[in-house]
Amino acid sequence: MYVTLDGSQMHDKISAHRLMQSKLGVGEYYGDNLDALYDVLSTHDRFLTVTWVNTEAMKALLGDYAEKMLHIFLLAAADNANLNVYMER
């Protein structure tokens, strides 16, 4: 599965998590926080490539939270061979 996440569509934490929930196809059980995000990504059992676009816009909108979110994706990719993450500015 290939997913593109557009950081310019993430205006606050809630919209960020809702967009990721929708794009990643996780159910209602998703906890809308960074721990839940890591759990979903690190245990994904099928091939998944995530490409981030407009990360600078997301950083302007979300500040430090954007950095933490991107870090979670990189940590999960290091722990899960099924996950590939690419980031564009």
Q: Is the dihedral of CA 76, 25, 17, 70 positive or negative?
A: positive
33 burial via Cβ count (<10 Å: 0-12, 13-18, 19+) = exposed
Q: According to the model, what pLDDT value does residue 31 have?
A: 86
Backbone phi, then psi, for 27, in 5-degree steps? -80, -170
| Structural domains of the chain, with CATH | 2-87 (3.30.370.10)
Split the chain (89 residues) into runs of 10 and give each run's mean pLDDT.
Answer: 96 94 86 92 95 96 96 97 94
